Amino acid sequence: MTFFADRANDALLERGAATDPDNPFLIGSYMHAQRALGFDAWLFGLEQVSTMQAASLGMIKSGRIRRSLTINSLPELSGDSPFWKGIEDFCTDRGITDLELATFASPESVIPRLKGEIERIQRTEFILSLVGRDVVAELSKHHRERVKKGRKNGLTIRRTRSGEALDAHIGLRAHSMGRREARGEKVPHDFARESAAKFLESGAGELYQAMLHDEIVSSLLILQSASGAYFESAGTSSSGMSIGASHFLLVETARALQTDGVVTFFLGGARRTEEGLYSYKAGFGAVAIDTESVSAYVGGRWRRGVSEVVESAQKAISANMRRKTTVPDRAD
């Protein structure tokens, strides 16, 4: 098999999607969302006798000095696949400095040691097959009780792409991250509304929300392909937590996806250190697949040195500006 790299378009994405129809990170609407965010979309993969065998969508972001390539969902690859040499050569030819490789909604893939590797994170992806599945029957006892409590309290579900619903989703997500941080977990603090909005606008994503009368108590952002769906982000209020809203919502979302013809529901990932998140996702009866994500600096030494000098100068200027704005006025 030979490596290929082409600037992505709808026709090319259609061929790529055929290699992994369950993958929501390999569809045209996801590509359009990323382009709306300022990324240059490329399709990378392997082909044999002009037939595409594996594909992944990559996003390039260019700055004044550095240029990054991010592939969020790698195809199934062995450690000695020609894909890796192809990516290395592409980065050299295109002046890529920062390479980010992840395995969201990916089959099991082996990422070899990369030149310039900075960080390698071990994580677990949870995959729920929806083919002929009784979603409730395969829940853990704890999860089944939480779902039952949600139903008893009169929770309902809605699907939406509205801006108002997205604002609620962002707020609930921040609330959930705060709870996890209080438990000692390392959590992200960048809840970018813009990227989620682009997913909704392009049709790549949809919000599923648990309602207690007129109140949104839990929210899920789902990315969806022809036969697959991915748990992109979620959040639940304190009142929702007390009545099992997050468990109820995920079960009802899985049922709705079944009706849509989805066969694989990716519940997202968790690190072993994220004990609460890990047990939450495992409790739905999902299959756990150990995987990883890797960051590498693949630019030259000179370019890295220049970027570090510029970044240091920018930090110093920002710190100086903060000091100036926080100096109190002196009374005469």
159 and 25 fall within a common domain = no
Q: What percent of the chain has pLDDT over 90?
A: 77
Distance CA 33, CA 161 (A): 14
What is residue 191's three-state secondary structure? coil
Residue with tokens 């949809």, as numbered in its chain: 206
DSSP readout, 83-150?
HHHHHHHHHHHHT--EEEE-BTTPPS---PPPTTEEEEEEEEEEEEE-TT--TTTTS-HHHHHHHHHH
In what helix (H) or strand (E) does residue 16 lie, and over which residues does it extend? helix 10-17
Distance CA 97, CA 299 (A): 4
What amino acid occupies position 39? F
The DSSP secondary-structure symbol of 327 reads S
pLDDT the model gives residue 329: 41
pLDDT, tens only, 35-80: 999 999 999 999 998 899 999 999 999 988 899 999 999 999 999 9
Mean pLDDT of 98-104: 96
Distance CA 187, CA 297 (A): 23
Please report whether residue 70 resides in a domain: yes
173 and 229 fall within a common domain = yes
Distance CA 164, CA 152 (A): 27
What amino acid occupies position 331? A
64 and 136 fall within a common domain = no
132 and 153 fall within a common domain = yes
What number of other Cβ atoms are within 10 A of residue 188's Cβ? 10
Please report whether residue 179 resides in a domain: yes
19 and 83 fall within a common domain = yes
pLDDT, tens only, 141-156: 999 999 999 999 999 9
pLDDT at 183 over 70: no
pLDDT band at 309 (very low <50, low <70, confident <90, very high): very low
Please report whether residue 102 resides in a domain: yes
Please report whether residue 328 resides in a domain: no
In what helix (H) or strand (E) does residue 59 lie, and over which residues does it extend? strand 51-62
304 and 284 fall within a common domain = no
pTM for this predicted structure:
0.86
pLDDT the model gives residue 187: 52
Distance CA 257, CA 227 (A): 9
* Buried-exposed string 295-319: b where 16+ CB fall within 10 A, e elsewhere: bbbbbeeeebeebeeeeeeeeeeee
Nearest Cα residue to 147 out of 280, 287, 261, 288: 280
DSSP readout, 62-99?
E-SS-EEEEESB--S--TT-HHHHHHHHHHHHHT--EE
Contact yes or no for 293/101 (Cβ under 8 A): yes
169 and 234 fall within a common domain = yes
Residue with tokens 């139903």, as numbered in its chain: 151
Count of domains observed in the chain: 2
Distances (CA, A) of 229 to 27, 56, 62, 76, 155: 12, 16, 30, 18, 23
How many residues appear in the chain? 332
The DSSP secondary-structure symbol of 39 reads P
Computed over every residue of the chain, the mean pLDDT equals 88
pLDDT, tens only, 232-256: 999 999 999 999 999 999 999 999 9
What number of other Cβ atoms are within 10 A of residue 122's Cβ? 11
- Which CATH number does the domain housing residue 71 bear? 3.40.630
Domain span holding position 266: 125-290
pLDDT the model gives residue 328: 42
Please report whether residue 330 resides in a domain: no
Partners of 46 in the β-ladder: 3, 54
- Which CATH number does the domain housing residue 196 bear? 3.40.630.30
Please report whether residue 303 resides in a domain: yes
144 and 219 fall within a common domain = yes
